[in-house]
Amino acid sequence: MSDLLHKVENGIATLTFNRPEAMNALSQETFEVGIPLLEKWAQDDDVRCVVVTGTGDRAFCAGGDVKAMNAGRGAEQTTEQKVNRQLGIHRMSGLLNSMPKVTIAAVNGVAAGAGFSIALSCDLRIASSRARFTTAFAKVGFAGDFGITWPLVRTLGEAKAKELLFLSEMVTVDEALRLGLVNKVADADGFDEAVTELATRISSGAQLAYRYMKENVRLSSTENYQTMLEREAFTQIYTGESEDHKEGARAFVEKRAPNFKGH
């Protein structure tokens, strides 16, 4: 049985963490299969949206496999080799955050440690009413990885981010929604349908506009207001000359749903 399932249907690509017996903890296979797939999907015009989820309703992803980490303590690698490997597997979060497609974390259960990080690296998060969240790193003496610090600080501010990191307490789905860590909560019994509805809405949307919206939001975290005004002047005119904009304008006038092509 594969540790990572994947499929593409109707423009929606889905990665599913598939180790339910280990709360869908990450494995080497997860990265060996998942990272090349994300790289491929980032460039595939037939993929219009990427969803990441977990098997079952117990866990989205429990993060790193602590049992496997403990068993592998004797592996002889230099610190530099270990850091380089970590940078390599961090590509999973990096791709979800930066690829020119909208990415959705469908958090079907517990998201802990690196699993929480990966969920936060996505553009949107829809959570099951059974979902819960925890940074978990402090409990095993880790500082945190897979990019967790960046979105936590920007979403919550420094004080609350430190609280979640230091104390590693479990955050309920209602609290996660209140804090802005998730965008939408769906009842567990109808969760799959709610995910499909959201992903379908994104996949049928204006892909070129989404791409530049995503880039602009990311840039706005580090650039000043004037720089963003200049950037938006370019992206607004660029998307305004696209076939998608022309189709959107026609559809608006004709009072129908637009048929966007992504160019």
Residue 202 backbone phi and psi in degrees, to 5: -70, -45
Residue 152: the pLDDT is 97
249 has a pLDDT exceeding 70: yes
Q: What is the mean pLDDT of residues 112-139?
A: 98
- What is the pLDDT at residue 70? 53
Calculate what percentage of the chain has a pLDDT beyond 90. Answer: 93
Residues 6+ apart with CB under 8 A from 239: 206, 208, 209, 212, 245
Average pLDDT over residues 33-62: 97
Give yes or no for residue 65 having a pLDDT over 90: no
Q: Which of 67-71, 150-154, 237-241 shows the lowest per-residue confidence on average (mean pLDDT)?
A: 67-71
In sequence order, the 6+-apart residues with CB closer than 8 A to the CB of 178 are: none
Q: What is the pTM of this model?
A: 0.95
Q: Tell me the average pLDDT of the chain.
A: 95
User: Token pair 């597997």 is at which residue?
Assistant: 89
Q: Is the pLDDT of residue 39 over 60?
A: yes
Structural domains in the chain? 4-203 (3.90.226.10), 207-254 (1.10.12)
Q: Residue written as tokens 């998942």?
A: 34
In the predicted model, what is the mean pLDDT of residues 46-56? 97
Q: What pLDDT, on a 0 to 100 scale, did the predictor assign at position 73?
A: 53
Between CA 38 and CA 234 the distance in angstroms is 28
- pLDDT given at position 69: 59
Band of residue 72 on the pLDDT scale cut at 50, 70, 90: low
Q: Distance between CA atoms of 175 and 38, rounded to whole angstroms?
A: 30
E strands of the chain, at which residues? 4-9, 12-17, 49-54, 59-61, 102-107, 110-112, 124-128, 132-134, 171-172, 184-186
